Amino acid sequence: MCLYFSRWKRQFQSLNYRIQKFQLLNPCPITTIQVAVGVCYVTAWGSHGYGNGQFSNNMSVAFDSLGRFYVADEGNNRIQVFYWREPFVNPVHPDIGIR
């Protein structure tokens, strides 16, 4: 499991073949689910597999200054790159990852 905290009070977690997004706010916005006081579940994406947006052993997550979101997937020997646009994630290059 990997945790990433952004400067905008958002937390991203890689666990169980998916990426989960949480927001640190109290009270939680109506479009989220409160999982603890001040911790709001926003969304998740990904599943187990070998295709785009799927993960075999996601180990690390990171953002860059252009808003791209990187997921290192050890099981698939690749880094998938996404643009983070609320509320959906779109692959930068749907047919390839960084290998």
Domain-by-domain residue ranges, the chain? 2-91
Which residues does 23 contact at the CB level (< 8 Å), separation at least 6?
Answer: 9, 10, 11, 29, 32, 39, 40, 42
Residue 38 has pLDDT above 80, yes or no: yes
Q: Provide the pLDDT for residue 54.
A: 87
| pLDDT category of residue 60 using cuts at 50, 70 and 90 | confident
Residue pair 10/4 in contact (Cβ under 8 Å)? The answer is: no
Task: Please compute, for residue 50, the number of CA atoms within 13 A of its CA located in the half-sphere on the CB side.
Answer: 3
Residue 34 has pLDDT above 80, yes or no: yes
**Averaged pLDDT, 46-75:** 83
Q: Provide the pLDDT for residue 77.
A: 86
Q: Provide the pLDDT for residue 29.
A: 92
